[in-house]
Chains A and B, each alone.
Chain A
Amino acid sequence: MTNLPLLLATSVTVPLAGALLLPLAGRISGALRSALALVFVLTALGCAVALLPAVLGGSTATVSVHGVALLHADRLAVFMALVSTLLGAVIVVYSFGYLSGLPNRDEYDLMVVLFLGAMMALVFARHLLVLYAAWELTAVACWRLIGFFRKDGCVLRADKAFLITALGAVLMLLGFIGVYVGQGTFDLGRLQGVRLPTWAAALILAGLFSKSATLPLHSWLPDAGVAPSPVTALLHAAVLVKIGVYVYARLFGATFVADPMVGEIVPWIAATSALVAGMAALLEHDLKRIIAYSTVSQIGFIFLGLAVGTPEATQGALLFVLMHAIAKGGLFLCAGIIEHGTHTKDIRKMGGLARAMPVTAGCFALCACSVMGLPPFGGYFSKHLVISGALAAGRLPVALVFLAGSGLTLLYLARVFDKVFLGPPGVAVQGRAVHEGTRLMVGCVAVLAALALGSGLFSRYPSAVAGAVARDLSRRPATLAEAGRVGP
Chain B
Amino acid sequence: MTTMLLLPVLVPAVAGAHALLAVRARRAAAVLLVAGALASAAAVALAVAGADGGVVAVQGAFDVALELDPLARTFLVGLAAAGVIAAAGIARAIAAGRVAAAAAAALLLALGALQGAILAADAETLLLCWGGALAPVAALLACGGAGAARPALATLTRWAAADLALMTGFGLLAHAGGHGELARLHPGVSPIATVSFALVLAGAATRLGAHPLHGWMSDAAERAPAPAAFVIAAGKLASAYLLLRLQPAFAGPAAPALMAVLGVLSLGPGVLFAVAQASRPRRPAHLAAATSGAMLLALAWGPPALASALAVAFALAAALFSWSSPTAVIAPSLPSRAGLASALRRAERSLEPGLLARGAVDAAAVGGLAIDRLVNALYDRVATGLGRTASGLLRRAHTGRHSTYLAWSLFGVAAVVLYLVGGF
Which A residues fall within an 8 A CB radius of B?
A: 23, 65-66, 68, 107, 110, 127, 129, 132-133, 136-137, 140, 143-144, 147, 150, 155-156, 158-160, 162-164, 186, 215-216, 218-219, 222-223, 275-284, 293, 319, 354, 369, 372, 374-377, 380-382, 384-385, 387-388, 391-392, 394, 396, 399-400, 403, 406-408, 410-411, 414, 417-418, 421-423, 459-460, 463
Contact = CB atoms under 8 A, between A and B. Distances in A.
A381 B150 contact: no
Given A66-B424, A218-B375, A463-B61, A374 B134 contact: yes
B424 A380 contact: no
Nearest to B373: A280
Contacts of A400: 168, 171
Contact of A68 (B362, B403, B424): B424
Contacts of A394: 175
B368 A278 contact: yes
B157 A414 contact: yes
A319 B132 CA distance: 19
Contacts of B175: 391, 394, 396
Nearest to A132: B418
B368 A280 contact: yes
A382 B383 CA distance: 38
Contacts of B369: 279-280, 283-284
5 contacts: A110-B404, A280-B371, A375-B128, A375-B131, A414-B157
B149 A354 contact: yes
Interface of B: 59-62, 124, 127-129, 131-132, 134-135, 149-150, 153, 156-157, 160-161, 164, 167-168, 171-172, 174-175, 361-362, 364-369, 371-372, 375-376, 378-379, 383, 387, 390-391, 394-395, 398-399, 403-404, 407, 410-411, 414-415, 418, 421-422, 424
Contacts of A423: 150
Nearest to A110: B404
B376 to A, nearest CB: 5
Nearest to B150: A422
A337 B129 CA distance: 33
Nearest to A296: B372
Nearest to A141: B407
A156 B365 contact: no
Contacts of A380: 128, 131
B395 A459 contact: no
B164 A160 contact: no
Nearest to A151: B399
B383 A137 contact: no
- Which of B156, B361, B398, B415 gathers most chain A CB within 10 Å? B398
A137 B411 CA distance: 7
A163 B391 contact: yes
Contacts of B375: 215-216, 218-219
A143 B394 contact: yes
Nearest to B164: A407
Nearest to A456: B61
Question: Looking at chain B's contact residues, is the secondary structure mostly helix, strand, loop, or mixed?
Answer: helix
B111 to A, nearest CB: 15
A282 B364 contact: yes
Given A66-B424, A215-B375, A381-B62, A376 B395 contact: no
B414 A155 contact: no
Contacts of A396: 171-172, 175
A277 B149 contact: no
A281 B422 CA distance: 43
Contacts of A215: 371, 375
Contacts of A137: 411
Closest 7 CB pairs of A and B: A279-B368, A282-B365, A381-B61, A375-B131, A459-B61, A280-B368, A463-B61
Given A374-B135, A399-B171, A422-B149, A155 B128 contact: no
A282 B395 contact: no
Nearest to B168: A403
A277 B365 CA distance: 9
Contacts of B410: 140
A418 B411 CA distance: 45
Contacts of B124: 384, 388
Given A282-B368, A374-B134, 18 more contacts: A110-B404, A127-B422, A129-B418, A150-B399, A158-B398, A216-B375, A219-B375, A223-B376, A276-B371, A279-B368, A279-B371, A283-B369, A374-B135, A377-B135, A391-B174, A396-B171, A403-B164, A408-B364
Contact of B391 (A159, A283, A406, A418): A159
B134 A143 contact: no
Nearest to A272: B371
